[in-house]
Structure 1
C-alpha cells in the first residue's frame, strides 16, 4: 500500500512511536541485609538474595536460567612469581591487576556452559574464566587469555582466601518464577560498596537484567582506627609507635629475670 500524502506518512510514524513496546521479563530482587557492619568479633556472614520474575508477555512454558555476580569495591592488586635461588625463595616477576573486584562471586542455577554459548558467556562475563581482569603488561593495559599463568595464580590465591568463588548450583528456583541464593562473606571481606548483578536467560538468550547493592562498613573502635589512619596518618603512626614502645617496656618488666 502506498501512502498518498506526507500527512498520512506522519500519522503512521506517530502510531508506531506511541504504540506500547512489548515488555521483557522483569526481575524483582532483595538482599536480606543491605548494610553489613564489621566489628572486632566479626568472623564472616552470609546474606540471602531473594527474587521473583514477572512474566509479562512471556509464554507460560518458558524456563529460565539465572546468573548472579557479586562484585566488591575495585582495587589494584599484585600477583608475584617466586623461584628458589640458592635455597631462598625470591620474587622474580610480578603482574599488576588494575581496578579489579576485591571480592567476586558468580552463582548460577546450573553449569555455566549449559546456560549460554561461549560467545555469550564472554560478552556477559559469566564465570571466573570470562571476568574482565585488566593487567598492566609493560606499558599496555589489557586482559589476557584464561590460561595465562599470572591470571590463573591470581584467581587461585583469591579463591584460597574465599574472596573469589563460583558455584554453578548455588541459585535455587523455589517455583518457576521465585528464586534464592546465598552470598557468603568471609571474615577478611573488604569494606565498601558491593554490586549484585542478576542476569536472566532463557534458551541461551538474555531476557532480563537488574542490579541491586549492599555495603559493608566498619563500626565502633575499628571504624575510629580506620578513619584516623586515613585522615591523620602522621598522628596515627606516632601513636602506633608509642603504643609499641610502651607495650615492649611493660613486657620487659613483667618477664625480666632477677
Structure 2
C-alpha cells in the first residue's frame, strides 16, 4: 500500500502543468439601467501567461468569448393561415434558453475548432442553439425549424449575435473584446466565458460575471409590479380610467 502511494505521488509530480494561464477582466461588473438607458457595451480584457519553459506557439492563439444572459422559459409557436385568420399550430418549448447570447471570436470559429469540439464544448452560436439540452428534443431533427425560428427572432431584436472578428489581439499575448448590450437586454446576471485555443485544442478557460440592474423609478415600479401584482394591476386600471375621463373633459365639444 505504501509503495502504491509513493508511485502515485511520483506520477502526480511528473505530470506536466498547464503551459498557458488565462487572465481575464471586465470593464464593469454592474450596469445600471435608468430612464435614459439606450444600451451599452462591456469590454473584456485578457492576458495569456506562459511558464518559463513554454515558448510562444508558432501558429498563435485564438480566443472565443461567449456571453449568456439570464435564463428564460420561451415558447416558439408555428402559425398557419386558415382562411382570413392566422392560428397557432405546433409549438416548441425552450425551458432554459438564454435571454441574451453573443459569441465573439478572433477568427471564424470553423477555422479554429473541429466539429466534434464545437458540439462537445458548445463553442459557437450554432453549437449552443443546436445542443440537445437547449430544448426538449423531439428526435429526428423535428425541432430544427423551431430552433432556427428562435435564433431568427432573437437576432432581429439584437439579442442573439455572433461576430467572428469580435476579439482583437493588441499584442501576441493580450486581447480585447467588446460585448454589445442593446437596450432590450433584460436585467439580471450575465455569464462571460473566455476560451483560449491553439491548433484546435482548448488550452484554458475562465468564467466571470456582470449584472444589469434597474435603478431609480424603474426599479421601484418593477418591485411593486413583482411584489404587489394585484395592487399594481388595480392602480394601473384606475390610472387609465382617470386619464380617459380627463381627456374626455378637456376635449369635450360643447
User: 1:93 deviation in Å?
Assistant: 2.1
User: 1:116 deviation in Å?
Assistant: 0.5
**Alpha carbons 2:92, 2:143 under 8 Å: kept:** no
For structure 1, the residue ranges without an aligned partner over 5 or more in a row are 1-5
Instruction: Output the CA distance in 2 between the equivalents of 1:202 and 1:145.
Output: 32
Instruction: Output the CA distance in 1 between the equivalents of 2:82 and 2:126.
Output: 32
Q: Which runs of 4+ in 1 moved over 3 A?
A: 6-21, 141-147
**Alpha carbons 1:198, 1:209 under 8 Å: kept:** yes
**Alpha carbons 2:78, 2:88 under 8 Å: kept:** yes
Per-residue CA distance 1:18-61 (angstroms, 9 max, x = gap): 56751341111111111011111211111111111111243323
User: 1:7 deviation in Å?
Assistant: 6.1
Q: Paired residue for 2:162?
A: 166
- Structure 2 residue 188 is the aligned partner of structure 1 residue 195: no
Instruction: Please tell me the root mean square deviation across aligned C-alpha atoms, in Å.
Output: 2.1
- Structure 2 residue 20 is the aligned partner of structure 1 residue 32: no
Q: Paired residue for 1:149?
A: 145
Alignment coverage as a number of residue pairs: 249
- Structure 2 residue 17 is the aligned partner of structure 1 residue 22: yes
User: 1:86 deviation in Å?
Assistant: 1.2
User: 1:247 deviation in Å?
Assistant: 1.1
- Structure 2 residue 88 is the aligned partner of structure 1 residue 91: yes
**Alpha carbons 1:73, 1:194 under 8 Å: kept:** yes
Instruction: Output the CA distance in 2 between the equivalents of 1:9 and 1:81.
Output: 62
Instruction: Output the CA distance in 2 between the equivalents of 1:52 and 1:199.
Output: 12
**Alpha carbons 1:52, 1:178 under 8 Å: kept:** yes
After superposition, the Cα gap between the structure-2 partners of 1:145 and 1:25, relative to the gap in structure 1 and judged at 3 Å, is: farther
**Alpha carbons 1:130, 1:146 under 8 Å: kept:** no
Normalising by the residue count of structure 1, what TM-score does the alignment of the two structures yield? 0.89
- Structure 2 residue 236 is the aligned partner of structure 1 residue 254: no
Q: Paired residue for 2:134?
A: 134
1:32-51 → structure 2 map (5 Å cutoff)? 32-51=27-46
Instruction: Output the CA distance in 2 between the equivalents of 1:193 and 1:121.
Output: 25
Per-residue CA distance 1:129-168 (angstroms, 9 max, x = gap): 11035323xxxx5688598111101100000000100111
After superposition, the Cα gap between the structure-2 partners of 1:207 and 1:235, relative to the gap in structure 1 and judged at 3 Å, is: same
After superposition, the Cα gap between the structure-2 partners of 1:101 and 1:253, relative to the gap in structure 1 and judged at 3 Å, is: same
User: 1:201 deviation in Å?
Assistant: 0.6
Per-residue CA distance 1:177-201 (angstroms, 9 max, x = gap): 1000111001111110000001111
Normalising by the residue count of structure 2, what TM-score does the alignment of the two structures yield? 0.91
